[in-house]
């Protein structure tokens, strides 16, 4: 949740490159990051449902901070890999817990229809927070290099953990929606029962399965963000200016996330076209291979976030049982698996293949979203009057 709003984020790929790592080896670090997330994703989602979503969010930031400490004190491939492993585990702890806290909190006051708008605003705020982080990255890098930016990021993560423990916790309550919650026989489920309910809901309910697949496929495209700084570097932007040059991306991303709240009621075909436009803009920027291509990346990022907010909102509205974080973690697991394919394709120079895959996803997305509508639950996406 905090990952891209800290000073080291716009710089870490450059840190790896300046340490002597090739593009291929940097991609293997991303693979390690994703692999750890794959192993821990669903088990930690069930932990958040069974025990405490608030604690899961706090520990997520603590593990992220520990990963950055390793990058600072042990710069090199092994230190970077170990840091990514800690970050990957921390990310899995927070994955699903945030959405579950937000949706169930709104449902508790009968405002679950507001979830797309509120979730879009939360994402927009997170993206906008990249702006001061980028400015801080530039100032800190100029004053003390990667070390100073890294330690400042550790402090940011610990501050986020302190704030997370003050959030109200939504764990252990009844199902948020009015639908049935299969296999729920007691108010306090065991860990294995929670895990079983979450996995069972994905497997048995068509709308949840379609929603999870949509979130997984769309969410996997977020892995392209890891290459923004490397693209800017390859396009001739000076290292010290890269964080500032990429400010347009979070600005457009925030606008797109906010638009996602309004787009919740759009027809599936229109959302597919929106994703296709994002893929086309990003591909055109890569083909252009000039600093001005950053504008195309920003436009693509904004359109992408609008689609991401809507797909997540439809998944959350489809979930009926008490294992909301677990179900969301299943979708995140799918995104991690698809992300590995994305990193591998990028590392082997298959950017054209990625473009074709993105357009194919845009064509398939309307079908997945219609599976949600077929259960007659689209009205839950509309705000309560």
3-43 pLDDT, tens digit each: 667 899 878 888 998 999 988 888 889 888 878 888 999 99
Closest residue by Cα to residue 65 from 146, 3, 132: 3
Residue 66: pLDDT band by 50, 70, 90 thresholds? Answer: very high
184 neighbors 197 (Cβ within 8 angstroms): yes
Residue 72 and residue 151 in contact, taking contact as beta carbons nearer than 8 Å = yes
> Does residue 373 register a pLDDT over 80?
no
Mean pLDDT, residues 299-324 taken together: 93
Instruction: Identify the CATH class of 3-170+195-375.
Output: mainly alpha
User: pLDDT (tens digit, 9 = 90+) per residue, 128-185?
Assistant: 887 888 788 889 999 999 999 999 999 999 999 999 888 876 554 444 443 434 443 4
Q: How far is CA 47 from the centre of its chain?
A: 19
Nearest to 358 by CA among 345, 369, 371: 345
What SS3 state is found at 8?
coil
What does pLDDT average to over the chain? 86
CA-wise closest residue to 185 among 197, 201, 199: 197
Cα(64)–Cα(285) distance, integer angstroms: 31
Q: Which of 53, 63, 52, 73 is nearest to 3 (CA)?
A: 63
Output the pLDDT for position 178: 37
What's the confidence (pLDDT) of residue 359?
Answer: 95
């Amino acid at each position: 949740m905090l990952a891209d709003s800290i000073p080291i984020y716009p710089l870490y790929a450059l840190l790896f490159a300046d340490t002597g790592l090739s593009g291929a080896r940097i991609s293997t670090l991303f693979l390690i990051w994703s692999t750890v997330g794959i192993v821990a994703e669903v088990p930690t989602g069930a932990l958040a449902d069974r025990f405490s979503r608030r604690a899961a969010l706090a520990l997520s930031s603590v593990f992220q901070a520990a990963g950055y400490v390793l990058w600072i004190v042990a710069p090199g491939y092994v230190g970077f890999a170990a840091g990514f492993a800690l970050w990957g585990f921390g990310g899995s702890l927070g994955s699903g817990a945030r959405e579950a806290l937000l949706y169930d909190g709104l449902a508790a006051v009968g405002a679950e229809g507001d979830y797309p708008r509120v979730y879009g605003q939360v994402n927009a705020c997170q993206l906008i927070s990249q702006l001061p982080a980028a400015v801080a990255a530039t100032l800190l890098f100029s004053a003390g290099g990667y070390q100073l930016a890294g330690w400042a990021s550790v402090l940011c993560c610990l501050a986020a953990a302190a704030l997370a423990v003050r959030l109200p916790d939504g764990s252990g309550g009844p199902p948020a929606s009015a639908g049935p919650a299969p296999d729920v026989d007691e108010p306090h489920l065991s860990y294995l029962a929670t895990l079983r309910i979450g996995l069972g809901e994905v497997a048995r309910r068509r709308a949840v399965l379609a929603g999870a697949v949509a979130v997984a496929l769309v969410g996997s495209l977020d892995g392209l963000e890891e290459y923004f700084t490397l693209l800017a570097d390859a396009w001739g932007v000076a290292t010290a200016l890269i964080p500032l040059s990429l400010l347009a991306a979070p600005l457009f991303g925030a606008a797109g996330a906010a638009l996602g709240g309004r787009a919740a009621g759009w027809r599936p075909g229109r959302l597919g076209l929106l994703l296709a436009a994002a893929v086309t803009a990003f591909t055109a920027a890569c083909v252009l291979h000039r600093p001005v291509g950053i504008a195309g990346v920003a436009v693509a990022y904004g359109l992408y976030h609008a689609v991401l907010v809507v797909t997540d909102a439809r998944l959350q509205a489809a979930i009926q049982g008490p294992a909301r974080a677990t179900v969301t973690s299943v979708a995140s697991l799918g995104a991690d698996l698809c992300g590995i394919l994305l990193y591998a394709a990028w590392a082997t120079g298959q950017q054209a293949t990625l473009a074709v895959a993105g357009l194919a996803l845009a064509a398939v997305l309307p079908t997945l979203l219609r599976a949600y509508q077929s259960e007659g639950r689209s009205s839950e996406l509309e705000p309560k009057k």
